Amino acid sequence: MKPWEAYYRSVTPYVPGEQPQGARLIKLNTNENPYPPAPGVARALKELDASALRKYPDPAASELTAALAGYHGLAPEQIFVGVGSDDVLGMAFLTFFNSGKPVLFPDVTYSFYPVWAELFGVPYETVPLDESFQIRPEDYARENGGVLFPNPNAPTGCYLPLEQVEAILRLNRDVAVIVDEAYIDFGGTSARELLDRYENLLVVRTFSKSRSLAGMRIGYAMGAPSLIRAMQNVKYSYNSYTMDLPSIRLGVESIKDEAYFRETVGRITATRERAKERFRGLGFVCTDSMANFLFVRHEKVPAEELFEVLREQQIYVRHFRGPRVSDYLRVTVGTEEEMEALFQFLGSYVSRR
Ligand SMILES: *Cc1c(COP(=O)(O)O)cnc(C)c1O
């Protein structure tokens, strides 16, 4: 080891799903949207004037912040935008979780949470989900330095009804409570409507899934002005110009086209509901996912085997190692045609086993 290597920060990074290249593959492994972004987004991208890139972007991304505020019926002071919700969540960790007490999140959840906790030196405790992968609000009634969970949860897709989200808030009035709503557009009620009553609530969203813009990196948070201001102070202490000009412009265009948004989200949820039936018909156990993915386990065939044989067919799904989840596959909802190809193969494979 070189002497300076002893001073490196030692981290175990988050492992994103692979991004295989090729035209014929079916990619159902990272919860991307199978449909393109709104037509106005493509138009704005074409019309983007390269000479405008000469200047720094607006550090406050005011245009996008205003569009989001208008969309959600909030004040611009209640919106924080960032480079994907991963950036927003990372900033939230840095901003809110400094009590020295453990932050609470579920044992089965987005695997980035423990990575940020380690990176920023935030102590944490995981709270087990019940046998049916549900969050039990009463389990969050203990001393903590903050609470964080996705709703619907990942990778299970399980949704926690709004009354129960509120129950967690009632039990945690003195710490920041963060609800990661990466998948809320695919079903369920947003905690957005609780913002008036809970000044310690932060609701985090992304353009990566329901708005087909994973490649653009846009995320945001909604919360009381004091929370948002605190996050901005941290952001401006690290990198003022997080949102580049194309992200700001294209994000605004996406927000404008509500009809297209509803249409594509509707198509995905309809495909998801049909896919649940197909999986169950083939002998899979399947959670009642409210997200744009399904969390499934076959009664007889191990998940790892299915993952491998699907991969040989150029069908990519996600398999997580670790307790409670390694029996399952997470399958993103693709187009009807992609799902049909998946079920054609699975149907013949599991019947031969
Ligand atoms: C996808 C995802 C995110 C991150 O999305 P970005 O692409 O960074 O906006 C955050 N939380 C959960 C639960 C996710 O699944």
Query: Domain of 95: which CATH number?
Result: 3.40.640.10
Residue 90 lies in a domain: yes
Centroid of ligand 1 to alpha carbon of 180 (angstroms): 8
Task: Tell me the mean pLDDT in the region 140-144.
Answer: 97
Which ligand 1 atom is nearest residue 218's CA? 9
pLDDT at 299 over 80: yes
Give residue 231's pLDDT.
98
- Please check whether residues 202 and 322 belong to one and the same domain: no
Model confidence at 15, pLDDT cuts 50, 70, 90, reads: confident
- The whole model's pTM is what? 0.97
Q: 101: domain range?
A: 39-256
- Mutate which of 180, 204, 318 for ligand 1? The one with the most ligand atoms within 8 Å of its CB, which is 180
**Residue 207 and residue 131 share a domain:** yes
pLDDT at 267 over 80: yes
Per-residue confidence (pLDDT) for residue 84, from 0 to 100: 98
- Contact status, residue 341 vs residue 352, Cβ threshold 8 Å: no
R_g (Cα) of the chain, nearest Å:
21
Q: Which atom of ligand 1 is nearest to the CA of 214?
A: 7
Pocket of ligand 1 contains residue 206 by CB under 6 Å: yes
Which residue, by CA, sits nearest to atom 12 of ligand 1? Answer: 182
The answer to the question of residue 281 being in a domain is yes
Same domain? For 55 and 24 the reply is: no
2 alpha carbon to ligand 1 midpoint, in Å?
36
Q: Residue 102: is its pLDDT beyond 90?
A: yes
Q: How far apart are CA 184 and CA 191, in angstroms?
A: 9
Is any ligand 1 atom within 6 A of the Cβ of residue 216?
no
Between 322 and 205, whose confidence is greater?
Answer: 205
Instruction: Tell me the three state secondary structure of residue 214.
Output: coil
Whether residues 77 and 171 share a domain: the answer is yes
Please state whether the peptide bond connecting residue 246 to the residue before it is cis, i.e. omega within 30 degrees of 0: no
313 pLDDT higher than 90? yes
Domain boundary among 256, 287, 318: 256
Q: Residues 167, 139, 85, 213: is their CA dihedral positive or negative?
A: negative
106 half-sphere exposure, CB direction, 13 A CA radius: 30
Do residue 247 and residue 313 come from a single domain?
no
Q: What is the pLDDT of residue 23?
A: 75
* Pair 67, 123 in one domain: yes
Indicate whether 224 pLDDT > 80. yes
- Dist CA 331 CA 31 (whole Å): 8
Supply the pLDDT for residue 57: 97
The stretch 236-253 carries a mean pLDDT of 97
Last residue of a domain, one of 205, 235, 256: 256
Tell me: pLDDT of 179 over 90: yes
Confidence grade of residue 25 (pLDDT, cut at 50, 70, 90): very high
pLDDT tier, 243 (very low <50, low <70, confident <90, very high otherwise) = very high
- Would you state the pLDDT for residue 17? 83
**Domain edge (last residue) among 231, 256, 281:** 256
> 59 in a domain, yes or no?
yes
Considering all CA atoms of the chain, what is the largest pairwise distance in Å, rounded to the nearest integer?
61
Domain count, the chain: 2
163 and 216 both lie in a single domain: yes
Statement: residue 240 has pLDDT above 90: yes
Q: Are residues 226 and 327 in the same domain?
A: no
| Claim to verify: residue 175 and residue 217 sit in the same structural domain | yes
Q: For residue 21, what pLDDT is reported?
A: 84
Together in a domain, 71 and 220: yes
- Cα separation, 122 vs 102, whole angstroms: 7
Predicted confidence band at 322 (pLDDT cuts at 50, 70, 90)? confident
Nearest Cα to Cα of residue 203 among 230, 235, 176: 176
Q: Judge if 178 and 223 occupy the same domain.
A: yes
Residue found under tokens 């985090």 = 204
Classified as helix, coil or strand, 79 is: strand
Q: What is the pLDDT of residues 56-77, one digit of tens each?
A: 999 999 999 999 999 999 999 9
Q: How many residues does the chain have?
A: 353
pLDDT of 101: 98
Indicate the residue type of 291: A
Q: 149 and 116 in one domain?
A: yes
Which is more confident, 276 or 23?
A: 276
> Is 7 a domain residue?
no
